Amino acid sequence: MLISVWGKNGAGKSTISANLACWLAIKGSRTALVGANRFYGAIQHYFGLDLGPEQSLRNVLSEKDSMDIRRCFVEYGQLKALSVASLSNEDDVIGRQRMRPETAARFLELTDRSFERTIIDCDESTDDALSMLSLVMSDKVLYVTKPGVQFAVFARACESLVGGLRIEDKLRVVCNADKRRQELSDCGAFNVKKDIFALPYCRDVESSGDAGKPFMLARGAGRRGSRYRRALGEIGLWLEKPGADGQA
C-alpha cells in the first residue's frame, strides 16, 4: 500500500511521515519511508542518516533479473528509508533535476511490491513527477495543513488539483497544531466532507526534529507526548485498514 503525505512546506509532512512510518513498523508492517524532497533530506536528518543508498536507483532499475529495490533503501531499525536528496548523479536526479516520470512510476511500483506499507513524504511542488505520481498511485493520501493564512491559501490552491487528479475519495486532512496551540477551526477550508485528523502541538516532537530522532522512537515522552502518540495512532489505524476509505 502506498501512502502519500502532502501539503505546504512547514506544515509537518516530514515529521508526520517519519513518525507514522515508525508507528507502522512498530506494529509489525514491513514499512518503507521515501523522502521525495530533492533539496532537503529531512528524512535523512530525522533518522540521523547521511549515507546514500548502497545501490544507485538507476543500477537497480536497469537490472533485469535480480532486481531488488530494497537495496536502494537504508535500514533503520524496523523500517527502511530512502531520501531522493541522497541519490547521486548516477541516478535520475542529476544535478537536482526532477526524477523522470517513467523512473518515478517504476520506482513506486517496485517499492509498493516490496513493502507492506510505503510512506512517501511528498515535495510541495506540483511539477515534481515523483510526488504527483505518488498522489495518483497511492491508496491513501494525507493532506497536512496548519493554522495560518498561508496554509489556508495553499489548501485552496490544492483543492482544484485534488479534483483534477481524482484523489478526493482516498484523501484525508490532517490538521497539525502550531505553537500557539490553535487547532482545527483555524486550519482553513478544504472542501473534503470527511473526518479530519487533528494532531496536537507537542514540544517533544519539535525538539526530536532537531535531535535527529523521530519522536516515536524517543523514550520518556511526557503527558503532551502521549496526546500526540494517541492522535498519531488514530491515523495509523486508518492506514492499516485496506481500501481507500478504510471501509473495505
Name the site residues for ligand ADP (rule: CB under 6 A).
7, 9-15, 42, 176, 199, 201-202, 205-206, 209
**Hey, what's the cell of 83?**
531520501
Q: Which residue is nearest to Mg ion (CB)?
A: 14
Q: Nearer to ligand ADP by C-beta: 12 or 188? A: 12
Q: Nearer to ligand ADP by C-beta: 52 or 214? A: 214
In the chain, beta strands by DSSP E: 2-7, 31-35, 74-76, 79-83, 117-121, 140-145, 171-176, 196-199
Q: Mask of contacts with Mg ion, 224-243, x by CB under 5 A?
A: --------------------
Q: Please identify which residue in the block is written with the cell numbers 496548519.
A: 146
* Sign of the alpha-carbon dihedral angle for 55, 61, 64, 66: positive
Options 38-46, 54-62, 179-187, 213-221: segment touching Mg ion (CB under 5 A): 38-46
Partner touching 199 among ligand ADP, Mg ion, none, CB below 5 to 8 Å by kind: ligand ADP
Classify residue 189 as left (phi > 0), alpha (psi -120 to 50) or beta: beta
* Sign of the alpha-carbon dihedral angle for 121, 173, 192, 183: negative
The answer to whether 188 touches 145, Cβ cutoff 8 Å, is yes
Q: Which residue is nearest to ligand ADP (CB)?
A: 209
| Residue 71: count of CB within 10 angstroms of its CB | 17
Quick check: 176 binds Mg ion (CB under 5 A)? no
The span from the CA of 106 to the CA of 102, in Å, is 6
Q: Nearer to ligand ADP by C-beta: 138 or 176? A: 176
Options 36-44, 81-89, 208-216, 231-239: segment touching Mg ion (CB under 5 A): 36-44
Following CA atoms 235, 236, 242, 248 in sequence, which dihedral angle do they give, to the nearest 10 degrees?
-40
The correct pick among 3, 11, 18, 42 for binding Mg ion (CB under 5 A) is 42
Name the minimum Å distance from CB 49 to ligand ADP: 16
Name the minimum Å distance from CB 45 to Mg ion: 9
Q: Nearer to Mg ion by C-beta: 110 or 202? A: 202
Sites of contact with Mg ion (CB under 5 A): 13-14, 42
